[in-house]
Amino acid sequence: MSDPAAGTISSRLLPLLQQLRQVAGEKDRDRINRYILDTLAKLYGIEDGAIYLYFLHGNQHWLAINAALTHRDGEREISSIDPYQLNVHARQELEGLPHLQTPLQDGTRHLEESQHWQLLVYPLLHKDTPYALIELQRATPFAADELEELDQFIGILQDHLNLVRYAETDTLTGMLNRKTFDENLDRVLASVHECEVENIPASGEQRHLPPEPGLIWLAVMDIDHFKQINDNFGHIIGDEVLILLSQLMRDSFRLHDQLFRFGGEEFVAVLRTGSAEDTVRVLERFREHVAEHAFPLVGQVTISIGYTLVDPLDTPTELVARADSALYYAKQNGRNMVACYEDLRAAGLIGGGQAKATEIELF
């Protein structure tokens, strides 16, 4: 006689494997998150669920909801927040959430139950370090065979997400890479357009909108005289400078700023601030922080920064070219300084033509 439980497992495994095949072909995190929550809701009766991104910023532990599953009036709803658009309102401190703290600390599945519901939480790990959580809840208890299936599903899913994560990040510093920047800048520009389209004059003559609360800025940063560091101390020490600088960036910028390594000694930050004054204050603070830091063997290292306001009418090429022009000005006028494209243009210090990054000697 066949085991009834075995039939139950196989009836779920086939659609589960089919969904895994779909997820394996996906690289877009939003679509992957929707696949995950939709599949688990259909096959395991999950009534509420969430996918959180986990951040350690300074000494504080933070979570941000990346996707959520809810049931309203008998209808299943899945909502998501683009990880490149997350803001402070989508974040919460981990303190006071023990059911989420435990799996992050242990790195293992956590099961919690009450009289009316069961809660299942899986941490997602990269190199044994947690970076996300999957939280699942339903009214009926999870059976042993269901937990075994879910363990396998989450394990395979984690392997795929780690491959996606590997493709998105710079192997040396762990920061987001140039490819990720190129692929997602359009989404940043689109978000600005959605916020500001009503403020564009009907004539369309206003090319660059004035700084307003919540607008976005792009800053390009370059280590001064980095070639000399490599020549004098070797590439291993040069790499250590890049790693330390990336850590200083994480410590200095806010949790919702997006940080990238463009390649070589060049880094990019996408900032959200309330005013032009706030932006220059943030960038000057970081420049000073780097200049005051004692780098092993090398001693003092400085950076030059060029930045520009993100306009909803920009193309990615125009945006980066403007920030590069401001960076070029900083390099040509003493280095170890912060330069704003809009300010330089208004003062007549640079023209409308954009300098090509490939033609600029930044060392």
Q: What is the pLDDT of residues 8-56, one digit of tens each?
A: 555 676 676 776 676 666 667 778 888 889 889 988 999 999 998 887 7
Contact 285, 269 (CB under 8 A): no
Q: Is the pLDDT assigned to residue 334 strictly greater than 70?
A: yes
Give residue 85's pLDDT.
56
Which of the four pLDDT bands, split at 50, 70 and 90, describes residue 203?
very low
Give the CA radius of gyration of the chain.
Answer: 24
Counting every residue, how long is the chain?
363
| CA–CA gap between residue 92 and residue 64 (Å, rounded) | 6
Nearest residue to 238 (alpha-carbon basis) of 250, 224, 227: 227
Element (H, E) at 68: strand 60-72
Nearest residue to 86 (alpha-carbon basis) of 213, 252, 249, 254: 254
Take residue 224 and report the two structure tokens written for it.
């001064």
For β-strands 91-93 and 258-263, DSSP reports them as unpaired
Weakest-pLDDT range from 188-192, 250-254, 339-343: 188-192
Which of the four pLDDT bands, split at 50, 70 and 90, describes residue 83?
low
For β-strands 60-72 and 75-80, DSSP reports them as antiparallel
Give residue 54's pLDDT.
85
Residue with the larger pLDDT of the pair 35 and 4: 35
For the segment 151-180, what is each residue's pLDDT rounded down to a tens digit? 988 988 888 888 888 888 999 998 999 988
Looking at residue 51, the DSSP 8-state letter turns out to be: E
* Average pLDDT score, the chain: 81
For the segment 194-201, the average pLDDT, to the nearest whole number, is 42
For the segment 296-315, what is each residue's pLDDT rounded down to a tens digit? 999 999 999 999 998 877 88
Give residue 153's pLDDT.
87
Give residue 82's pLDDT.
65
Give residue 244's pLDDT.
97
For the segment 64-77, the average pLDDT, to the nearest whole number, is 84
Residue with tokens 């020490």: 237
Domains of the chain: 4-168 (3.30.450.40), 176-359 (3.30.70.270)
Instruction: List the Cα angle 236/240/245 in 5-degree steps.
Output: 150
Of the residues 135, 146, 265, 342, which is catalytic? Answer: 265
For the segment 68-82, the average pLDDT, to the nearest whole number, is 82
Give residue 24's pLDDT.
67
| CA–CA gap between residue 312 and residue 280 (Å, rounded) | 21
| CA–CA gap between residue 286 and residue 283 (Å, rounded) | 5
Which of the four pLDDT bands, split at 50, 70 and 90, describes residue 222?
very high
Residue with the larger pLDDT of the pair 251 and 30: 251
State which of 37-46, 78-87, 241-250 shows the largest mean pLDDT.
241-250
Give residue 241's pLDDT.
97
Nearest residue to 136 (alpha-carbon basis) of 104, 107, 113: 113
| CA–CA gap between residue 188 and residue 272 (Å, rounded) | 11
| CA–CA gap between residue 335 and residue 341 (Å, rounded) | 15
Using DSSP's 3-state secondary structure scheme, residue 21 falls into: helix
Residue with the larger pLDDT of the pair 90 and 102: 102
Q: Is the pLDDT assigned to residue 84 strictly greater than 80?
A: no
For the segment 256-282, the average pLDDT, to the nearest whole number, is 90
Cβ atoms within 10 Å, residue 308: 28
Give residue 94's pLDDT.
64
Give residue 218's pLDDT.
95
95 is catalytic: no
What are the beta bridge partners of residue 216? 272
Weakest-pLDDT range from 77-91, 103-117, 128-142, 168-182: 77-91
The CA-atom distances, in angstroms, between 145 and each of 8, 10, 40, 356 are: 9, 11, 15, 60
Cβ atoms within 10 Å, residue 307: 28
The CA-atom distances, in angstroms, between 344 and each of 43, 87, 339, 347, 348 are: 59, 30, 7, 5, 6
| Amino acid (one-letter) located at 121 | V
Give residue 201's pLDDT.
38
Q: Is the pLDDT assigned to residue 260 strictly greater than 90?
A: yes
What backbone torsions phi and psi does residue 312 show, to the nearest 5 degrees?
Answer: -65, -15
